[in-house]
């Protein structure tokens, strides 16, 4: 077992903890911008967790799913930011 194989489960655990804390902030956030930031951080941590799981299982499928989540997360963050600023998504 190499050093990388020994460390990857600890890294995955740290990302799971970060996901739990982001979920708590998403539901307990005092304002809408806090919730938007929590959702943005949530998808970034989910993306990182998928990359780590892909490294652990030595499968490239997880990297493709991570790229898809990154693309959809970016578009979702832009739409939510536009909604927070203007109050409407469609112009």
84 touches 36 (CB < 8 A): yes
Selection from 42, 25, 45 nearest residue 77 by Cα? 42
Q: What global pTM score does this model have?
A: 0.84
* CA–CA gap between residue 40 and residue 62 (Å, rounded): 20
Q: What is the chain's alpha carbon radius of gyration, rounded to the nearest angstrom?
A: 16
Residues of the chain with pLDDT under 50: none
Question: CA dihedral in degrees (35, 39, 45, 48; nearest 10)?
Answer: -160
Q: In this predicted structure, what is the pLDDT of residue 80?
A: 85
Q: In this predicted structure, what is the pLDDT of residue 59?
A: 92
Q: What is the pLDDT of residues 52-68, one digit of tens each?
A: 999 999 999 999 999 99
Q: In this structure, how many other beta carbons lie within 10 angstroms of the beta carbon of residue 84? A: 13
């Amino acid at each position: 077992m190499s050093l990388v194989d020994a460390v990857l489960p600890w890294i995955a655990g740290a990302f799971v903890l970060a996901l739990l804390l982001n979920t708590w902030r998403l539901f307990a956030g005092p304002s809408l911008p806090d919730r938007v930031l929590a959702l943005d951080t949530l998808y970034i941590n989910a993306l990182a967790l998928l990359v780590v799981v892909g490294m652990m299982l030595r499968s490239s499928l997880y990297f493709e799913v991570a790229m898809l989540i990154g693309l959809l997360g970016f578009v979702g963050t832009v739409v939510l930011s536009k909604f927070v600023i203007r109050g409407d998504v469609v112009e």
